[in-house]
Amino acid sequence: MFSEYIKLTGRGEKGRRSLTQTEAYDALSSYLKGDAELLQLAVLLMLQRVRCETNEEAAGYIEALRERINPQWKSLNADLDWPCFAGKKRQPPWLILAAKVLAAQGTRIVLHGYNAVDAIKYQVETACPSLGIKLAHTPEQAKQYLDEFNICYLPLESYCPELLPLLDLREKVGLRTPLNTVARSLNPTQAPYAIHGVFHKSYEKLHAQAALLTSETNMIAFKGEGGESEINPRVSTDICGVQTIAGKTTYFEQEWPTFLNEASGAHTEVSAEYLKKVWQGETQDTYGDAAVICTIAVVLKQFEPAKSQSDCLLLAEQYWLQRNRDA
């Protein structure tokens, strides 16, 4: 049966087509149940990669993987799902400081990701412990940390270990697969809000359209700095997402203007130690301040769509300047 999905996707130009959401769900479910081999799945994923996966294919894969997640993760009463799968190279992961600020304001935040072995990129998971963000390996641990700190980080292996060998395909074949899109979209705690960063332009639309098909209520996606889920303040940012107002969920797009005009794009120290110095006020970093403020602002706008961008930026700046630097 699985070979039929490969044929549908890999036939000649006139005969091939993308999979429907149901077919994609069935294909990945078949592999996860042991009815197909990794080689077969890899071939299917690469065929889809060549022409770019569709929102329906992504949605089907998301649904198949969500079924593998322990339902206890959904009982954490998280507010904001924050996937971190890209890693950073040019700048440290400022998103961690933005998340800490929002957590201090009472938002229950679940960061999660994959600590890929990458000699070039610095992973969010590596930085979390030094910045006071606990790694939770069970739903019980996550609940404890959320109740105490309003924030925690979930390693991918704690909630969806089946995805680990599939993400490792990237290293073996040299290309990302559609599952790199899917990994960001699992929302293991079913938080009502989500923020996704993407590396390639136009993938923000794919994420938002897939979210609409998988019953997400409020999520935003954008081309983040280095592909991570944080705003690059040196450029304008196109955001695509879904929002639910009065019980109706719709797709939307919005543009955020450049925040730092003529700012330097120079690399800076990429480490948790540097982030800690900026948080504590020992080091000043204009770019870092702007990245944190802008990232907080887009989340605040997501929480309250009626607020203007300017109001959200002013409130984000206030939260940042008034942060508890000893926390």
Domain ranges of the chain: 2-51, 73-321
Give the burial string for 239-265 (b: 16+ CB within 10 Å, else e). bbbbbeeeeeeeeeeeebeebbeeeee
Token pair of 152 as six digits = 């925690």
Q: According to the model, what pLDDT value does residue 200 have? A: 85
Q: According to the model, what pLDDT value does residue 109 have? A: 98
Q: Does residue 120 carry a pLDDT above 70?
A: no
Sequence-distant (6+) residues with CB within 8 A of 148 are: none
What is the pLDDT averaged over residues 83-112? Answer: 96
Mean pLDDT taken over the chain: 93
Torsion-angle region of residue 52: left (phi > 0), alpha (psi -120 to 50) or beta? left
Q: According to the model, what pLDDT value does residue 173 have? A: 78
What is the pLDDT averaged over residues 51-56? Answer: 91
Q: Does residue 118 carry a pLDDT above 60?
A: no
The dotted CATH code for 73-321 is: 3.40.1030.10
For the segment 128-181, what is each residue's pLDDT rounded down to a tens digit? 999 999 999 999 999 999 999 999 999 999 999 999 999 988 877 777 889 988
Q: Does residue 210 carry a pLDDT above 80?
A: yes
Long-range contacts of 253-259 (CB under 8 A, 24+ apart): 253/205, 256/231, 256/294, 256/297, 256/298, 256/309, 258/233, 258/234, 259/231, 259/233, 259/234, 259/290, 259/293, 259/294, 259/313
Q: According to the model, what pLDDT value does residue 265 have? A: 61
Crossing angle of helices 38-51 and 2-10, in 10° steps, is: 20
Q: Does residue 251 carry a pLDDT above 80?
A: yes
298 CB-contact burial (10 Å; exposed 0-12 / middle 13-18 / buried 19+): buried
What is the pLDDT averaged over residues 288-297? Answer: 97
Q: According to the model, what pLDDT value does residue 263 have? A: 63
Question: Do the strands 193-198 and 151-155 form a parallel or antiparallel pair, or are they unpaired?
Answer: unpaired
d(CA 84, CA 99) in angstroms, rounded, equals 12
| Distances in whole angstroms, Cα of residue 177 to Cα of each of 48, 244, 253, 269 | 8, 30, 25, 30
Q: Residue 113: beta bridge partners?
A: 84, 155
Q: Which residue has the higher pLDDT, 283 or 173?
A: 283
Is there a contact between 48 and 10 (Cβ–Cβ < 8 Å)?
Answer: no
Cα 96 → chain centroid: 13
Torsion-angle region of residue 43: left (phi > 0), alpha (psi -120 to 50) or beta? alpha
- C-alpha angle 114/120/122, rounded to 5°? 45
d(CA 163, CA 161) in angstroms, rounded, equals 5
Q: According to the model, what pLDDT value does residue 202 have? A: 86
Sequence-distant (6+) residues with CB within 8 A of 200 are: 223, 227
d(CA 110, CA 69) in angstroms, rounded, equals 15
Token pair of 109 as six digits = 């935040």
Q: Which residue has the higher pLDDT, 240 or 10?
A: 240
Q: Does residue 18 carry a pLDDT above 70?
A: yes
Q: Does residue 119 carry a pLDDT above 70?
A: no
d(CA 45, CA 39) in angstroms, rounded, equals 10
Q: According to the model, what pLDDT value does residue 11 have? A: 82
Q: According to the model, what pLDDT value does residue 14 have? A: 76
Q: According to the model, what pLDDT value does residue 49 have? A: 87
For the segment 103-117, what is each residue's pLDDT rounded down to a tens digit? 999 999 999 998 875
Q: Does residue 27 carry a pLDDT above 70?
A: yes
Q: According to the model, what pLDDT value does residue 103 have? A: 98
